[in-house]
Amino acid sequence: MSQRLPSLEAIRIEKARRSIERREAGDSGSVRARCQTLSGFIRDAWPVLFPQMGYIHGWHIDFICAHLQAITFGKFLAMGWDNRLLVNIPPSFMKSLIVSVFWPAWEWGPCGMPHLQYIATSHRDDFCIRDARRMRTLVQSEWFQKHWPISFVKDGEKLFENDRGGKREAIPFGSLMGGKCDRLLIDDPHSVDSAESDADRDRATMRFRESATTRLNDPIKSAIVVIMQRLHEKDIAGIIIALKLRYIRIRLPMRFEADNPCETPLGRDQRLQEGELLFPERFPLEVVDRDEKAMTAYAVASQHQQRPGPRGGLTFKRHWFKIVKAAPVCRWIRGWDLAGSEEKTAAFSAGVLLGFCQQERRYYVGGVARARTANVETMIKNIASQDGKGVEIDIPQDPGQAGKIQARSLAAALSGYRVSTSPESGDKVQRAQPVADQAEVGNFCVVDGEWTEAFLDELTKFPTGQFKDQVDALSRAFGRFVQTPGAVIMAPIVVTSPLDIIGSYQ
């Protein structure tokens, strides 16, 4: 009877196993020397976990490892920083393996810290189990035990403990309650699907703000590491940035952005050329181009470039809007978008002054009044007084009887001005699209003022940005021009800062 020949995969696995044996048969001290750094440990440990897959190194691995080592050896604390690290990096760049598998094993083994306790979490339970299994396999391997022997007293799928007091527990992010640790490892707390849901995203960010810091054994020395691709302006990374929490942030986009390089206390992005790829050894240009062609602009901007909203914009592109010092003779309308609450977390009330120049057949954004205020009526009256009675006013009418009453009240308060009110029709994106169409063909200019940068920033992030009030107000003013195309020529208006008169409302 003939014997069955081994498959090519079996041959590769056997070759990798023999390679490990030959290396281990040599000087054990050389293994220890190589594994003094986390990056060196990853290189040596890789074939233990993936004998059939060759290791591909990228400089970003060294960069991330250097920051994790700074936590391990107390370097951040010595520099006056907290043990808090935020890493934003594209998917499939070894982030889960580095943070949730190799780093804990390295601290237990080569660093001689088997007492450390970890809670590792991700948005999916199976991801948590996957990485727990990988670390357990690594620590229990013959290679690891030969150099850093350690015994398990509990060996579960989600929780395992060693005989030195250390443990690693895997918990889905949505269940992050109870338990203490020296290292809280938060790996992709949002899924691509749930990040677009306000309710799901808010639950995740609330879990982070209310549970993360209470999970630590030592409030000073224990560490929190958040490593994730960006998915939304208000994801957990966005909350960390917005609240200016004391996290050292690593932001490594797929394509280098020379005007915004990542810099930390330990160094900076080593790339120099605009568009230079992050990991060309694994993701060469033809692969990145191929994949991004199938992705949406927003997915590329958030997941690849780590900024949720393309630099040029989504619905609106920044270069569509020419900045001018003053507007010519125009017919002017100020469109309003009114916030529903005066709470600090609520949207702004905003009024955008839009002009149309009959001679040029072009629109001019002349100014923005924007504030959070409980007294919207007073704000609108003050702005109307500044604009003058030659400027028309267009106010949205909320649905229902209460909306009609509010609209009538505001119109009555603006006696002597040309005021129109109407309900909104369609969603925000539908209302903004006609404006974008005109802007794209070069028919929009923006007067330079203190408000200009914030206005353009909101436009380029729309509709994924946190605020949409200025876009809504602009859409309303433009819609009024479409409804009443007749051009009433008024005196030229030069607006520098309409916000000056509403400073008390900020």
Q: Mean pLDDT over residues 318-331, rounded?
A: 94
Q: For 353-383, write each residue's pLDDT tens digit.
A: 999 999 999 999 999 999 988 888 999 999 9
Average per-residue pLDDT in the chain? Answer: 87
Mean pLDDT value of segment 139-159: 95
Q: Are residues 333 and 445 in the same domain?
A: yes
Query: Among 423, 335, 422, 321, which Cα is nearest to 364's?
Result: 321
Domain membership of residue 421 (yes or no) is yes
Residue 25 lies in a domain: no
Q: Per the structure, how many domains does the chain have?
A: 2
Domain stops at, among 280, 304, 328: 304
User: Quick one: 398 and 501 in the same domain?
Assistant: yes
Q: How far apart are CA 343 and CA 438, in angstroms?
A: 35
| H or E element that contains 220 | none
Q: Which of 164-178, 220-234, 458-472 has the highest mean pLDDT?
A: 220-234
Q: Tens digits of per-residue pLDDT, 70-105?
A: 999 999 999 999 999 999 999 999 999 999 999 999
Residue of 449, 348, 352, 428 whose CA lies nearest to 392: 352
**Phi then psi dihedrals of residue 411, to 5 deg:** -65, -40
> Six-digit token pair at 280?
């060309």
Judgement on whether residues 156 and 118 belong to the same structural domain of the protein: yes
Residue 174: predicted pLDDT: 83
List the helix and strand counts (H, then E) for the chain. Answer: 18, 17
Q: Is residue 66 part of a domain?
A: yes
Count other Cβ atoms within 10 Å, centred on residue 59. 15
pLDDT of residue 7: 65
Residues 122 and 215 in one domain: yes
Supply the pLDDT for residue 311: 65
* Residue 504 banded pLDDT, cuts 50, 70, 90: very low
pLDDT of 315:
86
Query: Does 90 or 198 have the greater pLDDT score?
Result: 90
Q: Output the pLDDT for position 310.
A: 67
Domain contains 7? no
- Nearest to 24, CA basis, from 45, 1, 51, 9: 45
Say if 1 falls within a structural domain.
no
DSSP assignment of 352-367 = EEEEEETTTTEEEEEE
In-domain check, residue 216: yes
288 lies in the same domain as 172: yes
> Residue 389 is which amino acid?
K
Residue 62 and residue 171 in one domain:
yes
Mean pLDDT within 283-305: 90
Residue 257 and residue 142 in one domain: yes
Q: What is the CATH number of the domain that holds 349?
A: 3.30.420.280
DSSP string, 110-172: TT--TT-EEEEEESSHHHHHHHHHHHHHHHHSHHHHHHS---EEEE-SSEEEETTS-EEEEEE
In this prediction, residue 495 carries a pLDDT of 38
Answer whether residue 419 is part of any domain. Answer: yes
In a domain, 99, yes or no: yes
Same domain as 285, residue 350: no
| Whether 58 and 161 share a structural domain | yes
pLDDT of residue 54: 93
Examine the fold and report which residue of 304, 329, 350 is the final residue of a domain before the chain moves on.
304
- 493 and 370 share one domain: yes
Cβ neighbour number for residue 209 with a 10 Å cutoff: 14
* Residue 20, pLDDT above cutoff 80: no
Q: How far is 428 from 459, CA to CA, in rounded Å?
A: 12
For the domain that residue 181 is a member of, what is the CATH number? 3.40.50
* pLDDT tens-digit map of 233-262: 889 999 999 999 999 999 999 999 887 899
395 in the same domain as 275? no
Range of the domain at 458: 318-505
Q: What is the pLDDT of residue 313?
A: 72
- Non-local (6+) Cβ contacts of 286 within 8 A are none
Co-location of 338 and 439 in the same domain: yes
| Per-residue pLDDT at 212 | 86
Q: Model confidence over 25-79: pLDDT tens digits?
A: 555 569 999 999 999 999 999 999 999 999 999 999 999 999 999 999 999 999 9
Tell the residue number behind the tokens 């609209």, with chain if given: 407
- pLDDT tens digits along 408-458: 888 888 888 999 988 888 888 889 999 999 999 999 999 999 999 999 999
Please list, in sequence order, all residues whose beta carbon lies within 8 angstroms of the beta carbon of residue 12, skipping any fewer than 6 positions away.
Answer: 51, 52
Domain final position from 249, 278, 304: 304
